[in-house]
Amino acid sequence: MTSRVPAKGEGGTDVEAAAPQQALPAAPPRRARRLPWIVFGLVFAALLVTRIALTPRASAPKPLLELPAYTLTDHHGKPFGAADLRGKPYVADFVFTSCPSVCPRLTKRMAEVQKRTEDVGDELRLVTFSVDPENDTPEVLAAYARKYGANEGRWTFLTGPLGEVETVVLRGFKIAMGKKENVEGILEIFHGERFVLVDGEGKIRGFYDADDAGIEAIVRDARLLVDR
């Protein structure tokens, strides 16, 4: 059995001998502590860049067919046609101003396209073709344009001789239009209800229903054409 021998402290008092303290390991330099985080950040950034590079970029739909050259009359009574739209994509629809049912809905949808693409300005045009040109004079179309808040710099309404309008709509856009007799023996105007997206070279890129999904799609695809 061993015994602890007290040591003589200052003034002759007994104190226990102090045991030597073990030296603590030196802290790593600050730069060494930050190195793993720097490496992690670089690896993460490299993975992110690689993922972005490998993600396929959305592309506009391919051309379907080319429109023939045409010139009609706008709602100011001036000649207007394919040459005036050259170089800029546009959305087309087909209505007549006295239509009590589907046409107001189509025109409101076109107004929605106008609002949702305000930021691109006149880089995207909107064109409404009257399928009742015998009654939809420039003056009538101008009043209709004001009613629906058409932007004069972007949205144009077209009319013209019936034969010329039919050629553009039927043969060019492949959209139905005409008159048929109802059960009461009265002639009624009928026409296609789809929107058409045309690129800056006068080529049709797609046909779209005027429902929520169709409007979402045509706005997206129109933006892709503008950004090309």
Q: Which residues are annotated as a binding site for Cu cation?
A: 99, 103, 191
In 3D space, the residue among 186, 189, 184, 226 whose CA is nearest the CA of residue 205 turns out to be: 226
Distance CA 80, CA 154 (A): 13
Number of H helices, E strands in the chain: 6, 12
Could you identify the residue written with the tokens 């100011």?
76
CB atoms within 10 A of CB 115: 11
For the annotated binding site, the residues are: 99, 103, 191
Q: State both tokens at 202.
A: 């006068």
- CA angle (211 as vertex; 206, 215 as ends), nearest 5: 50
Residue 94: partners with Cβ closer than 8 Å, 6 or more residues away? 106, 128, 129, 130, 131, 169, 173, 175, 177, 191, 192, 193
Backbone angles phi, psi at 11, to 5 degrees: 85, 10
